[in-house]
Amino acid sequence: MFHFVYGDIDFAHKINIMEEPTEDYAKHLHYFNEIVYFVSGKVRYTVEDQTRSLRPGDIVFIQPGQYHFAGVDESIPYERYVLKFPESALPESMKSLPAPKESFFGNSGQFSWIFSQLDMYYGKYSDEETKLLFLCEVVKLIILLTGEKNAEHAKESNLISNIIAYIHTHIKDPISLDTLNREFNFSKSYISNEFRKAMKIPVMQYIRAKKIIAGHQMILSGAKRTEVAETLGFENYSTFYRAYVAVMGFPPAGERFKKNTQNKKIKQ
Q: Are residues 169 and 138 in the same domain?
A: no
Q: Are residues 46 and 139 in the same domain?
A: yes
Answer whether residue 268 is part of any domain.
no
Q: Would you say 42 and 72 are in contact if contact means Cβ atoms under 8 Å apart?
A: yes
Please name which of 267, 268, 265 lies closest in space to residue 70, comparing C-alpha atoms. 265
Q: Are residues 7 and 90 in the same domain?
A: yes
Query: Could you say which of 85, 115, 146 is where a domain stops?
Result: 146
Please name which of 23, 58, 93 lies closest in space to residue 262, comparing C-alpha atoms. 23
What count of other Cβ atoms lies within 10 Å of the Cβ of residue 116?
13
Answer whether residue 238 is part of any domain.
yes
Q: Are residues 87 and 20 in the same domain?
A: yes
Answer whether residue 151 is part of any domain.
no
182-208 residue pLDDT tens: 999 999 999 999 999 888 889 999 999
Residue 122 belongs to domain with CATH number: 2.60.120.280
- Give the whole-number percent of the chain exceeding pLDDT 90: 59
Q: Are residues 60 and 191 in the same domain?
A: no
Evaluate if residue 254 carries a pLDDT over 60.
no
Q: Are residues 141 and 11 in the same domain?
A: yes
- The H or E element that residue 97 is part of is none
Distance CA 76, CA 45 (A): 16
Look up the pTM and report it.
Answer: 0.79
Confidence of residue 16 (pLDDT cuts 50, 70, 90): confident
148-160 residue pLDDT tens: 665 555 555 688 9
Answer whether residue 267 is part of any domain.
no
Confidence of residue 210 (pLDDT cuts 50, 70, 90): very high
Answer whether residue 178 is part of any domain.
yes
Evaluate if residue 100 carries a pLDDT over 90.
no
Structural domain count of the chain: 2
Residue 161 belongs to domain with CATH number: 1.10.10.60
17-30 residue pLDDT tens: 544 545 456 778 88
Query: Could you say which of 146, 172, 197 is where a domain stops?
Result: 146
CA gyration radius, the chain: 19
Q: Are residues 58 and 107 in the same domain?
A: yes
Helix and strand counts by DSSP (H, E) for the chain? 8, 10
Domain coverage including residue 232: 156-261
Answer whether residue 33 is part of any domain.
yes
Window from 97-101, 174-178, 180-184 with minimum mean pLDDT: 97-101
Q: Are residues 252 and 135 in the same domain?
A: no
- The H or E element that residue 59 is part of is strand 58-62
In Å, how far from its chain's centre is CA 108?
A: 22
- For helices 177-184 and 203-220, the axis angle rounded to 10 degrees is 110
Answer whether residue 266 is part of any domain.
no
Q: Are residues 7 and 95 in the same domain?
A: yes
∠ at Cα 264 (176, 59), nearest 5°? 95
How high does pLDDT run on average in the chain?
Answer: 85
Evaluate if residue 130 carries a pLDDT over 80.
yes
Distance CA 201, CA 213 (A): 16
Q: Are residues 189 and 135 in the same domain?
A: no
Query: Could you say which of 96, 113, 146 is where a domain stops?
Result: 146
DSSP 155-190: E--HHHHHHHHHHHHTTTS---HHHHHHHH-S-HHH
